[in-house]
Amino acid sequence: MSGRYAPSPSGPLHLGNLRTALLAWLQARLAEQPLILRVEDLDLPRVKPGSSEQILKDLRWLGFNWDEGPDIGGPAAPYEQSARHPQYQQAFQQLLDNDLVYPCYCSRKDIQQVASAPHAHEYSPIYPGTCRDPAKRAAIRQRHPEKTAAWRYRIPTHTIEFKDRIIGHISQSLDREVGDFVIKRADGLFAYQLAVVVDDGMMGVTDVVRGADLLDSTAQQIQLFETLGYPVPSFWHVPLMLDNTGTKLSKRDGAASLDLWKQQGKSAEMLIGHLAFTVGLIDEERAISTLELIQGLTLDLLRDKLINRR
């Protein structure tokens, strides 16, 4: 039994990321299970130098601790995705051996031209499956002889159902709503969807507490957990923090930075109080330490409060 918090070091954590960290920490501590800190620095082009160290420092400043992580090690080390290429390669080989992945040479334009209607996410159309067919794949490859292949997972035609601990019952059709998704990118990097499953599986994670923006990725991850033979964890998709215009916070949003908070002379306890208050864990905004906060909560209470805010 373990929880985890898995930040991406693409810049300093904003208050929304820190609130998710608080909730992941509370879930693990209230469940009396270890918390794993994993640095998701897989997408190397997006990693900012020094960001990983800063994130760990900020989390410690706020009063969080963890039982396994890049700075303290642990049985499932390494805890940085950039050092876990062999683990991902092994899982990829397993998929390859079972003919569950195929190379894809389609450009973004090829996909957009075919997939005019359904969209899996706001910006990405559902892959129309062109390169599933070896003849069509050969034709596409001829059109882009310079292109290296991305590898896609051959999605089955079934529906994934699960009960999110906060959001409730979710049902997603893999073929109609997800499509054959990328497991290994054309630039040779393994995709987040594969890495996160291999990591959570190998690290024995039983509770995934993360932002609700990842709800849409969960069905494909469940499919991969099952295919790779790992137990499927429980998911707690927690509400995202919005700014005062109702838009979700981004790392470019200076107003939500921890730096600004510190520059205003505010303490870690004031920030914990603010984060806890915005998600309904305390009734009025006041300075409170992580330890004091946890004393007033149980796992059921935490869950009820989050369900009320979803």
Residues that bind ligand GLU (CB under 6 A): 6-8, 40, 196, 210, 214
Q: How many CB atoms lie within 10 A of CB 134?
A: 9
Shortest distance (Å) from residue 7 CB to ligand GLU: 5
* Residue 63 dihedral angles phi and psi, to the nearest 5°: 105, 15
* Residue 29, phi then psi, degrees to nearest 5: -65, -40
The residue (of 7 and 204) whose beta carbon lies closer to ligand GLU is: 7
Least Å distance between CB 49 and ligand GLU? 17
Q: Is residue 251 among the annotated active site residues?
A: yes
Q: Which is nearer to ligand GLU, 210 or 274 (CB)?
A: 210
Based on CB atoms, which residue is closest to ligand GLU, 8 or 220? Answer: 8
How many Cβ atoms sit within 10 Å of the Cβ of residue 24? 26
Q: How far is the CB of 81 from ligand GLU (least distance, A)?
A: 9
Q: How far is the CB of 199 from ligand GLU (least distance, A)?
A: 9
Least CB distance from residue 61 to ligand GLU, whole Å?
A: 19
Which residue in the list 147, 251, 262, 305 is annotated as catalytic?
251
The residues annotated as belonging to the active site are 251
